[in-house]
Amino acid sequence: MSEAVLILGATSAIARATAAAFAARGNALYLASRDEEELRRIAADLRLRYGVEVHYGLFDAEATDTHEAFLKSVVTAMPNLSGMVLAFSYLGDQQAARDFSVGVKVIASNFTGAASILSHCANYFEPLQRGFIIGISSVAGDRGRQSNYVYGAAKGALSLYLQGLRNRLYASGVRVITIKPGFVDTAMTYGLPGLFLVASPQAIGERIVATLSKSADVVYLPWFWRYIMLIIKHIPEPIFKRMKL
């Protein structure tokens, strides 16, 4: 039986492309999100195109009390689980900043929910002394901007969490990779003004899987975002606070 990969937020375009890149390598898959009909369709598609075993199940990042049982059912279905990709996210809109009842959902999915399922996955892989955890964060987490700082803060927190987890799991040989995409052409960004250098989900999905054969810990995708963010991070705060970003 081939090694299996768990994809959380599997209905996202980036996740679909990542799952396809894993399937093309022959990996079995477990797809999870809150939309059963879509999961069924994506699973059928991956089975047909790549001839791999695909399971799916419901997962809600915000329902943290269900996460332990969820991971158990994944491992029962796929005892040879070798890694996971955390792709779910809720971007929210401008309102998230003014209305905390919206903001809290942004934080609950991008950070609290992520931290919850990550802790269960870490506890599962640590004693096995193998496995990988790929967390999709965002360049938006590198610096707070007025246009989406609730999302940015949650992603920034996720990046920090992954950093700490990497440090903890290093000794047990479990790899933790932080992915920071720039703009990607998905439902999250479709029709938004002000996008530039937009990457295709396919390109990002292939790069995500390719990072496993390299030694990088924090990966900007495409690569040039590392330098764009380097510049943005180094703009002095007295200037940055005046900018319309």
Ligand X SMILES: NC(=O)c1ccc[n+]([C@@H]2O[C@H](COP(=O)([O-])OP(=O)(O)OC[C@H]3O[C@@H](n4cnc5c(N)ncnc54)[C@H](OP(=O)(O)O)[C@@H]3O)[C@@H](O)[C@H]2O)c1
- Rule CB under 6 A: say whether 13 interacts with ligand X: yes
Among 49, 130, 168, 241, binds other proteins (CB under 8 A): 49
Among 10, 29, 42, 136, binds other proteins (CB under 8 A): 42
At a CB cut-off of 8 Å and minimum separation 6, what does 170 contact? none
Residue nearest to ligand X (CB): 12
Residue 201: alpha-carbon gap to chain centroid? 13
Contact stretch for ligand X (CB under 6 A) within 20-28, 45-53, 65-73, 180-188 = 180-188
Asked if residue 143 lies in contact with residue 233, where contact means CB atoms within 8 angstroms, the answer is yes
Among 3, 60, 126, 217, binds ligand X (CB under 6 A): 60
Contact stretch for ligand X (CB under 6 A) within 47-55, 60-68, 120-128, 236-244 = 60-68
User: Which residues are paired to 179 by β-bridges?
Assistant: 136, 219
- Rule CB under 6 A: say whether 187 interacts with ligand X: yes
Among 79, 191, 194, 236, binds other proteins (CB under 8 A): 191
What is the biggest distance separating any 2 CA atoms in the chain, rounded to whole angstroms?
57
Q: Which does 190 bind (CB under 5 to 8 A by kind): ligand X, other proteins, none?
A: other proteins
CB of 185 to ligand X, least distance (A): 7
At a CB cut-off of 8 Å and minimum separation 6, what does 57 contact? 30, 31, 32, 39, 70, 73, 74, 77
Query: At 203, is the secondary structure helix, strand, or coil?
Result: helix
CB of 225 to ligand X, least distance (A): 9
At a CB cut-off of 8 Å and minimum separation 6, what does 154 contact? 106, 107, 109, 110, 111, 141
Q: Which residue lies nearer to other proteins by CB, 193 or 238?
A: 193
- Rule CB under 8 A: say whether 13 interacts with other proteins: yes
**Among residues 56, 172, 151, which one has the least CA distance to residue 103?**
151
CA distance 160 to 169: 14
Q: Which does 44 bind (CB under 5 to 8 A by kind): ligand X, other proteins, none?
A: other proteins
- Rule CB under 6 A: say whether 99 interacts with ligand X: no
Asked if residue 133 lies in contact with residue 118, where contact means CB atoms within 8 angstroms, the answer is yes
Among 28, 87, 153, 219, binds ligand X (CB under 6 A): 87
Question: Which residues make up the interface to ligand X (CB under 6 A)?
Answer: 9, 11-14, 33-35, 38, 59-62, 87-90, 109, 113, 136, 138, 181, 183-184, 186-189
